[in-house]
């Protein structure tokens, strides 16, 4: 029977981490567990920066972006020394289970930590890139997508008024999920993603041909992992002779009030994660799969996710 758990957030922050923390803390306390909050991810475990969280300590955070536990990169946790010190902290504080709110990299680290020290680790899938294998939807993605969509709707106003070509770079180092989703929802003319080789000649041909029949404004969405907006814009200008502007949305996509979807997933994931720890489960991540909350083994979750893009990609082209 477990008595005390700890929760931490690692990797890039994602909107919805705060409601996830709220759920872990309040549901944990409801289940008669003590819940400790670890600050700055693995760093806090190594450096003994943690404290008990009360019901009230998570008041008013449900609608806030970011994470009250803060997050940080921690190269030290990749060393045996760092892991050993982290494990020591876990034992010192009699922590029976660890809930790790984060993405791929966080789960890989948790997986290793579990295997090495047999400390039960549970993951909550939080990543704006939605790039966790075996999981259809993570905390933060919906918020990031809507933020990017807002921006694209705004850019459309200028693109149409000034009859310009825009290349808009969205997040997604290894995944084109945000780019595809936003390009579809924003009625964008073209999308460039890491999963698919792009023939820029073809794009430019479309633009030139479109211009001839009166289509003067274009928005081309590019996932950051598939190229730099500036490079692509320069090439388009070279090939078509048309002025091309760029916008790099960047970190704006990470923040902001979480949407209803991001909050509801976070709150449900948090509850299930605590349930899993109580049930003696470990080494798994919680996410949404096929419309249901699912448990996915860390070993599966950290594999490269294949994005099925063909249909979506075709649809974007047909609808513009």
Least distance from its own copies to the Cβ atom of residue 94, Å: 24
Q: What is the CA radius of gyration of the chain?
A: 22
Q: In what helix (H) or strand (E) does residue 8 lie, and over which residues does it extend?
A: strand 4-9
**What is d(CA 82, CA 43) in angstroms, rounded to the nearest whole number?**
9
**Dihedral pair phi/psi, residue 69, rounded to 5°:** -85, -5
Q: Answer left, alpha or beta for residue 202, where phi above 0 means left and psi between -120 and 50 means alpha.
A: alpha
Between 142 and 190, CB nearer to its own copies: 142
Between 40 and 111, CB nearer to its own copies: 40
Tell me the residue ranges of DSSP E strands in 103-188: 121-125, 165-170
Least distance from its own copies to the Cβ atom of residue 91, Å: 28
Tell me the residue ranges of DSSP E strands in 24-152: 34-38, 50-52, 97-102, 121-125
Between 85 and 156, CB nearer to its own copies: 156
Between 64 and 133, CB nearer to its own copies: 64
Q: Tell me which of 13, 96, 129, 142 is the catalytic residue.
A: 129
Least distance from its own copies to the Cβ atom of residue 201, Å: 23
Least distance from its own copies to the Cβ atom of residue 24, Å: 10
What is the full DSSP assignment across 71-84?
A: ----GGGGSHHHHH
- Decide if 206 is catalytic: no
Catalytic residues: 129
């Amino acid at each position: 029977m477990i008595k005390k758990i700890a929760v931490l957030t690692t990797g890039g922050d994602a909107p919805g981490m705060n409601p996830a923390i709220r759920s872990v803390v309040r549901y944990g306390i409801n289940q008669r567990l003590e819940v400790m909050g670890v600050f700055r991810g693995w760093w806090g475990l190594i450096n003994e920066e943690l404290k008990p969280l009360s019901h009230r300590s998570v008041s008013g955070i449900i609608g806030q972006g970011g994470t009250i536990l803060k997050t940080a990169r921690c190269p030290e946790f990749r060393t045996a020394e760092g892991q050993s010190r982290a494990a020591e902290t876990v034992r010192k504080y009699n922590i029976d289970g660890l809930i790790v709110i984060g993405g791929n990299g966080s789960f890989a680290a948790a997986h290793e930590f579990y295997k090495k020290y047999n400390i039960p680790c549970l993951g909550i899938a939080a990543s704006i890139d939605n790039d966790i294998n075996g999981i259809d939807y993570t905390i933060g993605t919906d918020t990031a997508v809507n933020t990017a969509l807002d921006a694209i709707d705004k850019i459309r106003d200028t693109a149409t008024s000034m009859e310009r070509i825009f290349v808009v770079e969205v997040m997604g180092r290894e995944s084109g999920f945000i780019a595809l989703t936003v390009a579809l929802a924003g009625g964008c003319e073209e999308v460039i993603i890491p999963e698919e080789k792009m023939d820029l000649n073809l794009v430019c041909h479309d633009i030139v041909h479109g211009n001839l029949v009166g289509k003067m404004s274009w928005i081309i969405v590019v996932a950051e992992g598939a190229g730099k907006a500036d490079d692509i814009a320069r090439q388009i200008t070279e090939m078509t002779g048309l002025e091309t502007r760029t916008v790099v949305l960047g970190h704006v996509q990470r923040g902001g009030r979480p949407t209803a979807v991001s909050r509801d997933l976070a709150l449900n994931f948090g509850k299930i994660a605590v349930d899993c720890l109580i049930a003696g489960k470990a080494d798994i991540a919680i996410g949404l799969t096929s419309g249901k909350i699912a448990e996915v083994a860390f070993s599966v979750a950290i594999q490269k996710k294949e994005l099925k893009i063909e249909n979506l990609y075709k649809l974007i082209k047909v609808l513009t």
